[in-house]
Amino acid sequence: MMSHSVLRQIVRRVQTAKFYSVIADETTDSSRKQQFSVCIRCTADDLHINEDFVGLYEVPKADAETLSRIILDSMSTC
């Protein structure tokens, strides 16, 4: 419930922002699993930049189709 509350606050902030972007990055962790992180960056009215972590996903393979599906799924969740 807490994570949903935090996510709703992030979504409200992004909806009122004039500019926003999605940041996604894939890396392999120490156990050799591919991890994919998704963040949202937006600006406030005073042009203060907020960057919020949205999710960390384990990916079976790092091809364009899989990574784009994860980005789209995480944005539709928001």
Q: Is the dihedral of CA 31, 29, 59, 53 positive or negative?
A: positive
Q: Distance of alpha carbon 31 from its chain centroid, rounded?
A: 23
* Integer Cα distance of 8 and 44 in angstroms: 17
Residue 42: predicted pLDDT: 92
Residue 40: predicted pLDDT: 93
SS3 string, 21-72, reads EEEEEEEECCCCCEEEEEEEEEECCCCCEEEEEEEEEECCCCCHHHHHHHHH
Question: pTM for the full model?
Answer: 0.77
Residue 24: predicted pLDDT: 93
**What is the mean pLDDT of each successive set of 10 residues along the chain, which is 78 residues long?**
82 88 88 90 88 90 88 84
Residue 8: predicted pLDDT: 87
Residue 37: predicted pLDDT: 92
